[in-house]
Amino acid sequence: MADDSRDDTGAGNPEDEFRDMLKEFLAGNTELDPAKLACAAGLPNDPEMVAQLISQLQAALQNTSDGINWDLALQQATGIAERGTVVSLPAERSQLEQALHVASLWLDEATTISELTSVPKLMSRKEWVTATIGVWTQLAEPVANSIATSLTDVLAQSAPEDGELDDMIQNASKLMRNVGGTLFAMQLGQVVGQLSSEVVSGGDIGIPLLDGEQAAILPQNVLGFGAGLDIATDQVQLYLAVRELAHSRLFHHARWLRLQLLSSITEFAKGIRIDTGRLEQLAADFDPSNPEELRDAMTSGALIPPKNEDQLAALSRLETTLALIEGWVDVVTAEATTRLPASAAIAETVRRRRASGGPAESAFSTLVGLELRPRRLREAAAMWQKVTDAVGSEKRDELWSHPDLVPTAGDLDDPTTLIARITAGEPEPDDVDQAIEDLLNDDTSERPREE
């Protein structure tokens, strides 16, 4: 029989007791040190970081909304970006601006896709974070919601079946969602902040993080990329400028591509579910004095169960699209940079860097369950080169004019049929396709050009 004496004596309701228990924990008055919580969450053991974490978790306890505060991710990422920022010298910026100008001229000879209508930007790490955080949160939100839901499910499943504590569980669940969402947002901010020190341009990781109209270079990171290569700085700048402009031109030309790609990634992420059984086991076996097991589970992707058949099929389509994009950029960049004596050496450095990825990319892949680097890149680049050799750059680039024309995974294995199809010519688009194309063209033509 339930003991109701607590209410009769005015000791307070269960929701308040649960909230007070969390506050005691955050104040460091329990066995688990808040610094160890930061460690368990995959955050650095940094006194400033721990203080920020505790502050945000305390705010989460007072939050009455039922959503994730993504501003935390932005605050975390910009804070990390600012710490390592070195202001670029005017001479360095001028040199990069000149490199972008020359790169545009070289690209005109390598592709029929026209130049951008907006001026490329030179961005600091913080500016890159601010400009891209919206896409990062869009990609991460489905997984964050899944984690929050799993936390509340575990809590609900542990409640007595008589329903006596339903009100407490409901309120505690909202607190758990807020706390879990806060931890996830800060983890994402940590990843994006670290990435700001690794990427050299807006399209460096393949995903169109910036608007399709915009190209961007990060001067500080370009300088870091070239350090130790024993290659003249101006050659490195020119090569990376060509890659960035090629990537941006592609997304500006194929206006459907960015929306399709980001939508596909979001749909894939929505299918991710958290292994509640693993979560329950972690909670049952959790040792407050040794949080490494929880940290490893959160940062290794152990809470995300193996992908089902639908997810594997969606992932395969995504990887093919990403490989096609990066492969096209590789081929066009190689053709546009034949004047650079060190172009082959720089290209090999880019390939090695892409293959290994950085620590932040690895963290993002475990956080969201998606690798940013396509596995079939070499096959895609080889296919685009064969198409170029067979039909020329103009017909090659026309394949990006409509989603139905883009090569498939089968074309990566054997481009013979694709080349035969291009050589034979394509039928005229039907009325629906033509109407969509006209609408997209009208939308673009109405945008004012930047002087």
Q: Are residues 367 and 404 in the same domain?
A: no
Query: pTM of the predicted model, to two decimals?
Result: 0.77
Over range 308-337, report the average pLDDT. Answer: 89
With respect to residue 243, please indicate whether it lies within any of the assigned structural domains: yes
Output the pLDDT for position 339: 95
Q: Residues 324, 404: one domain?
A: no
User: Are 364 and 393 within one domain?
Assistant: no
Confidence check: pLDDT of 443 > 60: no
Confidence at 186, pLDDT banded by 50, 70, 90: confident
Q: Which residue has the higher pLDDT, 71 or 375?
A: 71
pLDDT for the residue numbered 10 = 39
**Residue 397 binned pLDDT confidence (cut-offs 50, 70, 90):** very high
| Percent with pLDDT over 70 in the chain | 62
> Domain for residue 450, yes or no?
no
6 domain-assigned = no
pLDDT attached to residue 14: 44
pLDDT at 324 over 70: yes
What is the SS3 string spanning the chain? Answer: CCCCHHHHCCCCCHHHHHHHHHHHHHCCCCCCCHHHHHHHCCCCCCHHHHHHHHHHHHHHHHCCCCCCCCHHHHHHHHHHHHHCCCCCCHHHHHHHHHHHHHHHHHHHHHCCCCCCCCCCEECCHHHHHHHHHHHHHHHHHHHHHHHHHHHHHHHHHCCCCCCCCHHHHHHHHHHHHHHHHHHHHHHHHHHHHHHCCCCCECCCCCCCCCCCCCCEECHHHHHHHHCCCCCCHHHHHHHHHHHHHHHHHHHHHCHHHHHHHHHHHHHHHHCCCCCHHHHHHHHHHCCCCCCHHHHHHHHHCCCCCCCCHHHHHHHHHHHHHHHHHHHHHHHHHHHHCCCCCCHHHHHHHHHHHHHHCCHHHHHHHHHHCCCCCCCCHHHHHHHHHHHHHHHHHHHHHHCCCCHHHCCCHHHHHCCHHHHHHHHHCCCCCCHHHHHHHHHHHHHHHCCCCCC
Residue 44 pLDDT exceeds 70: no
Assess whether 351 and 391 both reside in one domain: no
Give yes or no: residues 150 and 176 share one domain. Answer: yes
Last residue of a domain, one of 316, 346, 375: 375
Whether residue 359 sits in one domain with residue 327: yes
Q: Which domain holds residue 251?
A: 13-375
Give per-residue pLDDT as tens, 415-436: 999 999 999 875 555 566 666 6
Kindly state whether residue 126 falls inside one of the protein's structural domains: yes
Determine which of 33-42, 176-185, 419-428, 435-444 has the lowest per-residue pLDDT on average: 33-42
Considering the domain architecture, whether residues 327 and 400 belong to the same structural domain is answered as no
Residues 202 and 245 in one domain: yes
Domain termination site, one of 321, 356, 375: 375
Instruction: Report yes or no on 4 lying in a domain.
Output: no
Least-confidence region, from 79-83, 254-258, 292-296, 344-348: 292-296
279 and 394 within one domain: no
The reply to whether 350 and 316 lie within a common domain is yes
Q: Are residues 79 and 159 in the same domain?
A: yes
Asked, for residue 178, whether it belongs to a domain, the answer is yes
pLDDT tens, 347-366? 999 988 887 776 567 667 76
pLDDT of residue 8: 44
Tell me whether residue 2 is in a domain: no
How many domains are there within the chain? Answer: 2
Give pLDDT tens digits for 259-287: 888 888 877 777 776 666 766 666 566 55
Residue 1 lies in a domain: no
Domain boundary among 346, 375, 404: 375
Are 441 and 310 contained in the same domain? no
